[in-house]
Structure 1
C-alpha cells in the first residue's frame, strides 16, 4: 500500500436548481433529490454542503433543512464540515442560516 493511499476524496454535495457548482462531487436539482443525497451520505463525513434556497417553482431547500434539523433533534446530526448557503433570496437564505445554526451546524453565507 502506498503512503497516502488512505487519503479520501472530499465529499462536496450541492442542492441547486440552476448553478453548476463545479467543486461538488454530487449535485441535486430538487429538494427531493437533495433529501435522497443526504440519506445516501448519512453515515459518511460530508466536507461541504452547498444549499440554494429557491429551487424553481414552489420547491425550496426547506425539506432538506428539515432532514438536517430532525437528525440534530434526534441527537444524530449529520457530520458536515461546513454548510454554505448561496441564495439570491436574502430572507430565505437568512432563514436557512438561522435554523441550521440553532442546531450547531457550521453555516456560512456565500455569494449567489
Structure 2
C-alpha cells in the first residue's frame, strides 16, 4: 500500500497508546504542530484527550480547530473522537467542536 492511500489517524494524548494512530502528540504544543503539519491533508480520524498532564490540556488544539473554522477553512477531518476520562472536560471539547460543525463523538476513555 502506498503512503498516500494509508488512512491518516492522529492522536493527542499524554499517556494512552493509540494503536490505530499513524502519529501521536503527547502535549498540546505538539498537537498544534501536528495539526498544522497536516493542514492541507484530509485527516481520517483525530483522537483527543482533554487532560494532557500537569496544567496542560487539549484546549490549544481545540482553539486552533475553532479558529480555522471561524476563518472559513476548517480542517478536513472524517471524525474526531474525544476519549478523555474527564467527563466535564470532554463535554466542553465536544460542545466547542460541534458548534463549528466538526464531526465529533465521545469515546470511552
Q: TM-score range by the shorter chain?
A: over 0.9
Could you tell me which runs of 5 or more consecutive residues in structure 1 were left unpaired when the two chains were aligned: none
Match of 1:88 in 2: 85
Aligned with 1:46 (options 39, 43, 46): 43
1:55-70 to 2 correspondences below 5 Å: 55-70=52-67
Flag structure 2 segments of 5+ consecutive residues without an equivalent. none
Q: Report Cα offsets for 1:38-68 as digits up to 9, x if no partner.
A: 0000000000000000000000000000000
Count of residue pairs the alignment pairs up: 109
Partner of 1:15: 12
**Structure 2 residue corresponding to 1:29, chosen from 20, 26, 34:** 26
TM-score (normalised: structure 2): 0.97
TM value normalised by structure 1: 0.94
